[in-house]
Amino acid sequence: MNTATLEPTTSPATPTAPAREFPPVPDLQWSEALQTGDARMDATHQEMVEMLARLRALPPEQQLEPYRALLAHTTEHFAQEDRWMLASGFTADNCHSLQHKSVLDTLIAVEAHFHQGDRSIITRMAEALVEWLPLHAQSMDAGLAQHLQALQFDTQTETLPDPSRVRPASMSGCGSISCS
């Protein structure tokens, strides 16, 4: 996949291959399957699901401002989780934070492509996020929530009852149960 355009690429051997049609990406609905076990994280994810649904319902010429709101929301959403990871012992360059950076970089690039005349790119980005968010929430974010709960980290106040339980910058994984 070419992240610059968010469209499948063809191999050099088949530059004139016809574009493949993909089935439409179904809407993402907030459900118990998306819950991580942390109320603040879940509320943030639910807001994102709702913003994506509103964005996808709009015609391309009306998407830019709601897209900018989604970008601002996602920037704060990722910054929030990144603060929690740092406060609970993750290295600054852990793979969960690196995934956040990659997604944000792509979100920023989308607006530039939109201004260059690619009027369908916001729709394609919203579809990609609809596909990405459930897996991210169910793996990396659910693992992070479990890690934070084990430390009794309060995501509302962003505090630890016993900071001595955290060895600073000792975790480099993604926060999921399988690699933290």
Residue type, 135: L
Q: What is the pTM of this model?
A: 0.81
Check residue 23 and give its pLDDT.
72
Q: Are 38 and 149 in contact (CB under 8 A)?
A: yes
Domain residue ranges of the chain, discontinuous segments joined by +: 37-165
Q: How many CB atoms lie within 10 A of CB 58?
A: 16
Highest mean pLDDT among 3-7, 72-76, 148-152: 72-76
Q: How confident is the model at residue 19 (pLDDT cuts 50, 70, 90)?
A: low
CATH 3.40.50.720: does it fit domain 37-165? no
pLDDT of residue 174: 53
Q: What's the pLDDT score for residue 176?
A: 44
Please tell me the distance from the alpha carbon of residue 15 to that of residue 168, in angstroms, as a whole number.
Answer: 50
The mean pLDDT of the chain is 86
